[in-house]
Structure 1
Amino acid sequence: MMSLAITVIGGGAAGFFGAITALETFPGATVTILEKTRTVLNKVRISGGGRCNVTHACFDNRQLVKHYPRGEKALRSLLNQFDAADTVRWFERNGVRLKTEADGRMFPETNTSETIIDCLLHVAQNLGIRIRTSCGVSSLRKHESGWQIQLLTGETFYADRVLVATGGYPQRTAYDWFPQQTEDLITPVPSLFTFNVPTSYLLPLAGIAVHDAGVYVIGTKQQQRGPLLLTHWGFSGPAVLRLSAWAARDLAAVDYRFTLRINWVPTLTENDLRTALQNFRQQNGRKQVSSQNPFGLPSRLWLALATESGIQESQRWADLPAKLFNRLTERLTNSQFQVVGKSTFKEEFVTCGGVPLGSLNPQTLESKAQSGLFFAGEVLDVDGITGGFNFQNAWTTGYIVGKHIGL
């Protein structure tokens, strides 16, 4: 029997994991990875601030899937084949121990993404996987019982099976070379981004973090809560990134121009906050409003909110008029900012959209329309919030394709 020729298009996390699993599962095959750029595993290298957030220490798959704005239902069954616990075991079996941080993110103990890159390259090379860089694909066509792959260089070669693991691109044209599927490509839009607010009076406070804030997109049901970071362009931090992920389509539809509402004290209802302020006022009447706050907010942020409410820096709590008291309450629970655009988060981006899961076999990720064609990773219409969830999608879907691509 002739050796099965498997080509993986895309030298990222999903592509490598798919290639490795394929050759481990079907040792008689020949596996080639084609990468468009000059280096492989580029996103692995820069993720997690250069440390690579490999996965998340969430080992209950019912809870894990709740961190994916898109793809939750499909991932629920796919994780039965390879989940976060399997990821940890796989890397440890291949010489990489992972550590868990307080927020659940898992990194290599070495604290460098090069450890993950070296591991994947080592395993791939030991198996005899061919890795070719600067090999962008211009077309992929069915040819007899296999596939004809045309490179941007003009070179043509053939494969029996193909795994497309090219990652996500926010422009639909980047997918033009894909073969026709049973369902149209879901228009890709960016996810996981920060908010630009050029008119914000808080811009001078860049670097200040609030441990717990509620963030809302006015006019929608989209809201999140968590740490918030003030930046020199607007707002970032986990709460904003999660909001950008869950609201990715809503925000793209309005060209990233919308009103953001922030509640700086989300643990209290407006009435409870008002009561807390009244009590604080009575007990601290002689103290200046601008220098005393009962909610543990950063002092410079509190001063900015008070100033924006019209309160003079020398004004005492006892002398605060009802009008300014009400304004301060409003600023604390209902600060509103005009967002006009987005920024990429730490050179990382995730795409919402891509190949619809309905066009694939839900157990093998093989195209229903084109036998021998598989998809894995971010090219699928699956995306997670920050915290290692997008890499887990890459490991899971790459593994599943690798297990089935030679059948």
Structure 2
Amino acid sequence: MHPTHPSKQQGFSIVELMVAVVVGLLAVTFATRLMINGEQSKAASVGGSDAMQNGMLALFSINTDASQAGWGLNDDLVSGCNTRMTDTEGFALAPAVRDGAAITPLAPAVIADGGTGSDTLTLYSGSGLAGVGSTRVSDSYLGGATIKVDTAAPFGFNQGDVIVVAAEPSGADCALAQLSATPDDSILQIAAGSGWRFNTGNLGLLYNAGQARVFNLGPAGKLSFHTWSVANGVLRLRATDLAGTGAQPQAVVGNVVALKAQYGFDTRAGTAFVPKDGMQVGRWSSAMIDADGDGSTGAPGDWQRIAALRIAIVARGAVPERPAARQTTCTATTAPLTVFGTAVPAGVAASPAQVALGIPNDAVSWTCYRYRVFETIVPIRNAGWRP
């Protein structure tokens, strides 16, 4: 008989199993790393795309307003005039300062400098077809709801139009009101009533006969007084021609961190300053300056020297990025941004402005987002069209 031998055991040895486990773990690690890197790249791409879209939309919206700014306010009697205005829907003129005193000027643009935070930009324009259609006050205005002018049924003046009464020569304050009736003979009516949002039945100022003019800014429904601001990461708008936004701003574009703006002043002196031949930027500033060199800062002549606006929008991606592996702090963005750093036009010094990127009460650090800056220069094309 042949001796019996136990059959050999079939299978893997412990060494082979350990090698297989290690190879499998390495494959899982590599696959996980690929997925993480892919998601990080996707988040960065999506964030950049969101910032691009939001920033371009915000800048386009403001640029459209700025390109029309100053229409109807071209006359030297109106532009820069400290103006009284009431509005039953709550819109208020932007505050400014003239030699230390608070004023509310009518001008193409009024900037409230926010320092390293977001600025507030107010843009004014009328819609009167005549642009600067006016008539002169013929009898002294001592109060009340009627204004006597020297033109019978002045051309282009209709019921519902917004008017501005300005002293002639300039120096005194202006007053804004609304025509409550189509002019009858040479009488302008500014009676108070529910249909006349800018009227109180009285201008609140006195004007001497032959020493004031009345300018027509067009229908109240098309009066473009707009205030742009940013709060809690949202670009907002207050407007006279958008229902429900007179007192409370409405959201326009999200994920906008800051709006920054600067005046471009024409600082040419004496006879070198000829607006009708074209305005030229000689200095950029976020604050009002003595642009005409008369010794007064914020006087009408300074507001009339605004040749352009420099505007910047800082937008961020909608999706924050995570910290890198083994890190607790995000590094998508590591420092505040600076805008207006380039010298444009040639020969005009830049006035750089640093922008803080944090949003109050945001649960995610600003360093976890990617940002894009959008800048433009908008000529105030109506500034040179003066009667």
* TM-score interval (norm. to shorter): under 0.3
- Structure number with the bigger relative contact order (C-alpha 8 A, sep ≥ 6) is 1
Q: TM-score, normalised to structure 1's length?
A: 0.21
Q: Which has the larger radius of gyration?
A: 2
More helix by share: 1
Q: TM-score, normalised to structure 2's length?
A: 0.22
